[in-house]
């Protein structure tokens, strides 16, 4: 009697799951889709409905079969026998669908596109998260304040404000941060690094926020104007530096090569070229480069010489 009730239950729920007893594969009753595991079928069925129901049915031999147990056994066998390898790198997986998704890394294929901007992505889930930018939707609510977030990761960061959690520690002082980005910003205190340069004067900042605040100084009042373009400066010395663009004057010289610059900031940027460890060597001369692309450009000199010979 219990077996009959189970069979009736399966009949009533036939539209909510799918299976075929002869070879234990899963068949969708809404379309022609077939799946090798219950997990694959569950994901597929969400396209037709929001839920997937596992039921206990009667097998081919007349015995009751739990589809979840069958799925687990089939999944283990599938994992042992089926390994899909990428032909372009060392990636391997036990699911062909995962391999197809991975291969887009090499092909550059981005089939999912936003209908409101030029954004394209490899995965549908990424597109769904992106669309929040246009809709302004913020489905994640903080249970301790009124804060709302569009992404779960943003909510996770926010909650550290309430918990006081600061897992990121500075290895040079007692400073602790709630996020890695904040710790990175703090480390500038120890290194003295100031990578953000003002394009109107010699000011350098360790953080982009500091540079943004500094630029307000230039935006407020610019009494000194260039007579050759629309440039305006807050200081006369800044205007003098700007005019070098028109005159072609380059008073700042590099002490390690023939490079010349019109602004000290440009010279500072250039000097980083010399600070980079040069590991790429030319096999035809003593030239060394910090990047492979620079060595490739250099080799053209020898190619031209060979043609002339």
Checking if the pLDDT of 18 tops 60, the result is: no
Beta bridge partners of 261: 252
pLDDT at 55 exceeding the cut of 70:
no
Residue with tokens 């283990």: 76
Q: By percentage, how much of the chain surpasses pLDDT 70?
A: 75
Give the model's pLDDT for residue 292. Answer: 72
Residue 56, classified by CB atoms within 10 Å of its CB into exposed (0-12), middle (13-18) or buried (19+), is middle
The yes-or-no verdict on residue 52 having pLDDT over 60 is no
- Alpha carbons 135 and 163: distance in angstroms, whole number: 30
Give how far the C-alpha of residue 65 lies from the chain's centroid of Cα atoms, to the nearest Å: 44
> Is the confidence at residue 44, as pLDDT, over 50?
yes
Contact 243, 255 (CB under 8 A): no
pLDDT band at 22 (very low <50, low <70, confident <90, very high): very low
φ and ψ at residue 252, rounded to 5 degrees: -95, 115
Task: Render pLDDT for 266-307 as a digit per residue (tens, 0 to 9).
Answer: 887 787 777 666 667 888 888 877 767 777 878 877 765 555
Q: What is the pLDDT of residues 207-255, one digit of tens each?
A: 888 888 888 777 677 778 888 888 888 778 878 888 888 888 888 888 8
Determine the Cα–Cα distance for residues 152 and 138; give it in Å rounded to an integer. Answer: 10
Model pTM score: 0.31
Residue among 190, 227, 186 at smallest CA distance from 207: 186
pLDDT at 4 over 50: no
**126 vs 59, which has greater pLDDT?**
126
Of the candidates 60, 59, 41, 61, the one whose C-alpha atom is nearest the C-alpha of residue 51 is 41
DSSP E strands: which ranges in the chain? 26-27, 34-35, 56-58, 64-66, 84-85, 92-93, 112-113, 120-121, 140-141, 148-149, 168-169, 176-177, 196-197, 204-205, 224-225, 232-233, 252-253, 260-261, 280-281, 288-289
Q: Is the pLDDT of residue 80 over 80?
A: no
Q: Which ranges of 164-291 does DSSP label H, i.e. alpha helix?
A: 180-191, 208-220, 236-247, 264-275
Which residue in 55, 64, 62 sits closest to 19, CA to CA?
55
């Amino acid at each position: 009697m219990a077996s009959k009730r189970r069979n009736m239950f399966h009949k009533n729920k036939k539209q909510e799951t799918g299976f075929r007893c002869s070879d234990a594969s899963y068949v969708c009753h809404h379309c022609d889709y077939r799946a090798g595991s219950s997990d694959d079928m569950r994901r597929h069925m969400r396209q037709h409905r929001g839920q997937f129901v596992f039921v206990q049915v009667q097998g081919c031999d007349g015995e009751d079969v739990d589809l979840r147990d069958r799925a687990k056994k089939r999944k283990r066998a599938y994992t042992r026998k089926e390994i899909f390898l990428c032909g372009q790198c060392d990636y391997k997986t036990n699911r062909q669908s995962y391999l197809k998704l991975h291969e887009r890394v090499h092909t550059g294929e981005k089939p999912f596109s936003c209908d409101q901007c030029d954004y394209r992505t490899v995965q549908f889930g990424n597109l769904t998260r992106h669309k929040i930018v246009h809709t302004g939707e913020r489905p994640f609510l903080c249970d301790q304040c009124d804060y709302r977030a569009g992404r779960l990761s943003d909510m996770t960061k926010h909650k550290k404000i309430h918990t006081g959690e600061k897992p990121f520690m500075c290895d040079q002082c007692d400073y602790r941060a709630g996020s890695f980005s904040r710790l990175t910003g703090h480390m500038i205190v120890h290194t003295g690094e100031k990578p953000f340069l003002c394009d109107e004067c010699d000011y350098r900042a360790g953080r982009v926020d500091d540079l943004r605040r500094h630029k307000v100084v230039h935006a407020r009042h610019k009494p000194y104007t260039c007579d050759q373009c629309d440039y305006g400066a807050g200081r006369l010395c800044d205007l003098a530096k700007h005019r070098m663009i028109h005159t072609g004057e380059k008073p700042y010289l590099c002490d390690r090569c023939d490079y010349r610059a019109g602004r000290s900031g440009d010279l500072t940027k250039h000097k980083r070229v010399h600070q980079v460890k040069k590991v790429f060597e030319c096999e035809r001369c003593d030239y060394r480069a910090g990047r492979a692309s620079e060595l490739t450009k250099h080799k053209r000199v020898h190619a031209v010489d060979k043609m002339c010979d």
